[in-house]
């Protein structure tokens, strides 16, 4: 799957003592060190990690951050293995590349505590972001990614309504969120605070639906104790998790794992009246499914545009900024990029993904050309130095 953009390095790691199996993909570092979280799940594959690393290449470029794209993956169940030992072992295996070529962060299955372990093992706080506050971190548990998704959703609805592209008044929009972990729950929280009606949410255990709107503050408070939707008290009937694709909602937000919108679930979204998909998760929609949705007039806002809040917050942490600076920068950059992508898509008859990819690729290509140019200049410089030295050798011999 290698192409002109990368990957530059693929590192496989195995530790027979702990059973740790991991992979690091450094996709492209033309703009800066590869940035990307460490995914910890039994379903992780090298191909998935590569796809996620490529998304990070485009995401960082589009957000205008001095990072390239990378991703780490641990192939195990964090609830069934010694996660501290696994994280230490993985950090030790990839230490030669951290932090000059790779800067880690949290992802599905990892938390700020894992980042503390990772940084301590590497011996450098710059090894990762999303660390605990006590280590100068801005944890993703504050909801930076979800905040960015909420800002993107709000602005996308208002912009498409202003263009007359989607026949939907933003204040009347109904929203369904698939996935209710860190990203999904904070997306719901911030959208609820903006006044939007969230009619359905789902996690790995079940789905709850209320056409009149869910009580998001109540649900989030309950989940702090009851852990998942299946264990919620009797205020809402719990449906099978797959029902989230069938409930009537104007906006569908996948906020869980990869490829959940596919040729089986896309027709269900079309039938349920979905008008807009906001990709809060990374690579949640297959190419075939997105093509089908677009053919039916459904707009799809790509992941690397709308869910960049996490990496933008990471950048603020990386340069020693504050929590407030992180949220302010997320709002600014997400708003700017959503406006740019929708404006160009509207003017040129392109999809948001086509526009966003063009912009991101242009920035990465320029950085790659500059890097190649710098290498060429350096080679010419050292060649001249060598030539001058060789010319000096006869006179040096005479003086001797």
Neighbours of 297 (CB within 10 A): 11
H or E stretch at 23: strand 20-28
What's the rounded Cα separation, in Å, for the pair 284 and 324? Answer: 29
What's the rounded Cα separation, in Å, for the pair 62 and 384? Answer: 38
What's the rounded Cα separation, in Å, for the pair 216 and 221? Answer: 9
Closest C-alpha to 146, from 312, 340, 360, 356: 312
* CA distances for 242 relative to 5, 40, 231, 260, angstroms: 36, 23, 17, 10
| DSSP reduced 3-state for 164 | coil
Positions marked catalytic: 71
9-15 vs 20-28, strand pairing mode: antiparallel
Retrieve residue 124's tokens. 């450098």
Residues 6+ apart with CB under 8 A from 102: 24, 26, 33, 34, 35, 36, 70, 72, 94
* CA distances for 41 relative to 49, 118, 253, angstroms: 11, 17, 22
Closest C-alpha to 23, from 5, 1, 41, 6: 41
Neighbours of 377 (CB within 10 A): 10
What's the rounded Cα separation, in Å, for the pair 171 and 173? Answer: 6
């Amino acid at each position: 799957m290698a192409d002109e953009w990368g990957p530059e390095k693929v590192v496989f790691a195995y530790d027979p003592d702990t059973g740790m199996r991991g992979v690091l993909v450094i996709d492209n570092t033309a703009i800066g060190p590869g940035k990307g979280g460490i995914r910890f799940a039994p379903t992780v594959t090298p191909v998935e990690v590569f796809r996620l690393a490529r998304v990070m290449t485009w995401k960082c470029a589009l957000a205008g951050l001095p990072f390239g794209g990378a991703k780490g993956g641990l192939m195990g169940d964090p609830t069934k293995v010694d996660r501290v030992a696994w994280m230490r072992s993985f950090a030790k295996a990839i230490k030669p590349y951290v932090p000059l070529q790779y800067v880690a962060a949290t992802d599905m299955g990892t938390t700020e505590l894992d980042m503390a372990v990772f940084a301590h093992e590497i011996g450098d706080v710059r090894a990762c972001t999303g660390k605990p506050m006590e280590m100068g971190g801005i944890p993703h548990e504050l909801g930076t990614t979800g905040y960015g998704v909420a800002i993107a959703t709000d602005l996308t609805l208002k912009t498409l309504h202003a263009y007359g592209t989607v026949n939907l008044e933003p204040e009347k929009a109904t929203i369904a969120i698939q996935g209710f972990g860190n990203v999904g729950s904070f997306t719901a929280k911030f959208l609820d605070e903006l006044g939007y009606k969230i009619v359905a949410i789902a996690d790995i255990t079940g789905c709850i639906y209320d056409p009149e709107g869910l009580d998001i503050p109540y649900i989030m408070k309950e989940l702090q104790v009851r852990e998942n939707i299946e264990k919620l008290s009797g205020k809402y009937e719990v449906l099978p998790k797959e029902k989230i694709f069938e409930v009537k909602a104007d906006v569908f937000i996948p906020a869980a794992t990869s490829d959940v919108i596919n040729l089986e679930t896309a027709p269900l979204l079309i039938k349920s009246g979905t008008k807009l998909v906001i990709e809060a998760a990374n690579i949640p929609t297959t190419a075939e499914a997105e093509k089908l949705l677009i053919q039916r007039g459904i707009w799809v806002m790509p992941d690397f545009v709308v869910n960049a809040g996490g990496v933008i917050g990471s950048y603020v942490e990386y340069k020693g900024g504050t929590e407030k600076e992180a949220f302010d920068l997320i709002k600014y950059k997400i708003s700017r990029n959503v406006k740019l992508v929708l404006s160009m898509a509207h003017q040129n008859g392109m999809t948001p993904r086509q526009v966003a990819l063009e912009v991101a690729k242009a920035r990465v290509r320029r950085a790659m050309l500059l890097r190649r140019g710098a290498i060429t200049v350096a080679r010419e410089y050292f060649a001249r130095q060598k030539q001058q030295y060789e010319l000096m050798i006869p006179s040096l011999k005479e003086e001797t």
